Structure 1
């Protein structure tokens, strides 16, 4: 048996020029991930993120069957972020991006005698829910807002 080697660049060129049958053949040979141009066109919902990550909806449901809706939403966001990062781990020497949400709850300043205390609230986001570009973070925050509602404010999402 003889092996054939092809560069990713040449495979992508062939894919771009191929008809439907040729594209299907190349996807079967090299996998669909090789030919993704914009991951945000692929990850449009949780099932597509799971598929990109090599999981089925049934596997995800089994993994989260005992979780609360908020915990399940957190795990869904982790899967979505992983797919949007195209499976690449984030490194400590690079910027990480994640959606942020502003909720106006009124003033958080209180005064006592001549001293004052300014209070603010922060929410820490783990690397598993972070992505590698600001564009992906904005997309993630807008496209998957229902998971953030369940995750960040489970009582309000009811």
Structure 2
């Protein structure tokens, strides 16, 4: 991995995974996954960190711990963040998938992959995707309505 460009998004993304959150889509040889088992394991991913920037596997792990301590991990100190995740999306391991906080709603889409609910396509979508889209619209509309009332209460009341 010797791309010297400072603007190549794949290089920037890989640096961020090595330096901050270590998210890697792995497929260990003993797992039943969609990708080629055993070829894309943790060692393969962290090797890019070592080759590209000299990070050891231990440094990557320490960087992840530092980021989680600094940012709160999954204990978010924020509001109005809607987390939508799919059941076959490997990214959901880094996401908030359940929440007791009404200001941090979550939507789970069984059988869906990464951003499936955002792609334009046939109107004959799976019921879970249709429910997710309706849920997203409803939550965003509610937040916009609440903001509008706070800014212009005499007009909207």
Give the structure-1-normalised TM-score. 0.22
Using CA pairs below 8 Å that are at least 6 residues apart, which structure has the higher relative contact order? 1
Report the structure number with the largest CA radius of gyration.
1
